[in-house]
Amino acid sequence: MGGKAEKVYTEPGDIERILRLVVELPGQTHVRITMKNGDIVSGAVTERPAAQLLQSASGATGMNARLRLDHPTEPDWTAYLWLGDIERVERLIES
């Protein structure tokens, strides 16, 4: 098992959604992420996230993945997001 996550997913539809997000997030892609709670985060995907079998704090086993975003103009800024918390991914075109 890969570790712990705040929330894990076991339903086939949720797992398919996480796997789709993995495909939408290749490394070095600039994205704007809308979270399920309404927060919006923009940055560059450092590397494609990997779906993993994880355990929640309550002991449930399921799937989730963690995404790392960096910001090219802010070297000290990094965000870590759980794919299960993402509502939408928009690819940004670099100018």
CA dihedral (82, 17, 61, 58) in degrees, to 10, reads 50
* Banded pLDDT at 1 (limits 50, 70, 90): very low
The CATH architecture one would assign to domain 4-91 is Roll (2.30)
pLDDT at site 94? 65
pTM: 0.90
Amino acid, single-letter form, for residue 34: T
Q: Where are the domains of the chain?
A: 4-91
Q: 34: burial class by Cβ within 10 Å (0-12, 13-18, 19+)?
A: middle
